[in-house]
Structure 1
Amino acid sequence: MSKVKNNDTVKVHYTGKLTSGEVFDSSKDREPLEITVGQGQLIPGFENGLIDMEVNEKKTLNIPSSEAYGDVRNELVQDVPKSQLPEEIKPEVGMPLVSKTPQGQEIQLVVTEVKDDSITVDANHPLAGKDLVFDIELVEIK
């Protein structure tokens, strides 16, 4: 039976959880995820965990934050004067925002604090700094 190697395109079902057991994503009620292994499409710990799997094999991957979304980077947390926000935006904690760099790249932000004259936004991935657990099942090797 063939095993997954780099550059194979595979289909996989997964359930992603925090170490507390809280599920943050799952493919259970939809089509399996299709990726080409080794292309950097997913976090390194997930892609590396697929190597040498066989079709119908199931396993649990315990992925440290360093092989997932990395550590929380303090430089990605900033205060922004409310005067720089569009007038129609009424910021609330947890609200997602999008900012654009001078080069036109979009950056996803989350409001973490609302003050009188400014807001604090965080551009870290929501799962940064967290160890993750994935239950995976290899469905197909193309």
Structure 2
Amino acid sequence: MRNASKIGSVWFLGLVAVLMMASTAWADDRAVKEGDVIEIHYTGKLQDDTVFDKSEGREPLKFTVGTKQIIPGMNQAVVGMKVGESKTVSMDPGDAYGPYDDKLIFQVEKSKLPPEVQSGAQLMDGQGNIVTVKDIQGDMATLDANHMLAGKTLIFDIKLVSIQ
């Protein structure tokens, strides 16, 4: 009777191990869907292959799919991916940082800016938005409140690291 008990225990432990492996395989095989919290590594490039951002050497980018935590094109690009999968996607401005808007160019008196400011500098306005100093002529400065990637087609190399 004692041997039957040992055989039953070994059989049960073997079954548990098989079930655990099957559930792990299923988890690794599931695809990203809206609402999932995921982590990706990425490289963002312009059409001329200029890299504007990458996660290499940093923690993966973590976000909830389908939220405004990330640009719309990235939300769309990751749906259906599986852990370990990589892909390259191109995003037009509407799926990235929007079109370039000339209405977001404006002038201010240079005296309202920090004294050492020069063309090309980026400043934060009173609402937490980043503006770029486009030009300074005389007592006036031209500022651009467009995102620096507005109006640009972006290319992302994406690797799905995890689905949580």
TM score, norm. by length of structure 2: 0.80
More helix by share: 2
User: For 1:24-39, what aligned pairs fall within 5 Å after superposition?
Assistant: 24-39=52-67
Q: Deviations over 1:83-124 (max 9, x none)?
A: 3235xx222111111211xxxx22211100010010000010
Structural mapping, 1:35-50, within 5 Å = 35-50=63-78
Bigger Rg over Cα:
2
Q: One-letter code of the match for 1:124? A: N
User: Could you tell me which amino acid in structure 2 is paired with residue 135 of structure 1?
Assistant: D
- The answer to whether structure 1 residue 120 and structure 2 residue 120 are counterparts is no
Cα RMSD (Å):
0.9
Percent of aligned pairs with the same amino acid: 43
Is residue 44–residue 156 contact of structure 2 (8 Å, CA) maintained in 1? Answer: yes
Give the counterpart of 2:119 among 93, 106, 118. Answer: 93
- Structure 1 unaligned runs (5+)? none
Give the AA of the match of 1:120.
T
User: Could you tell me the TM-score, scaled by structure 1's length?
Assistant: 0.92
Inter-partner Cα distance in structure 1 for 2:38 and 2:60 = 9
Q: Is the 8 A contact 1:15 1:26 kept in 2?
A: yes
Distance 1:22 1:106 in 2: 27
User: How far apart are residue 17 of structure 1 and its match?
Assistant: 0.3
Whole-Å Cα distance in 2 between the matches of residues 117 and 33 of structure 1?
Answer: 42
Find runs of 4+ consecutive structure 1 residues off by over 6 angstroms. Answer: none
- Name whichever structure is richer in strand by fraction: 1
Q: Gaps spanning 5+ residues in structure 2: where? A: 1-28
Q: Which has the higher contact order (CA 8 A, sep 6+)?
A: 1
1:55 equivalenced with 2:77 (yes/no): no
**Maintained 8 Å contact 1:18/1:24:** yes
Residue 120 of structure 2 aligns with an amino acid whose one-letter code is G
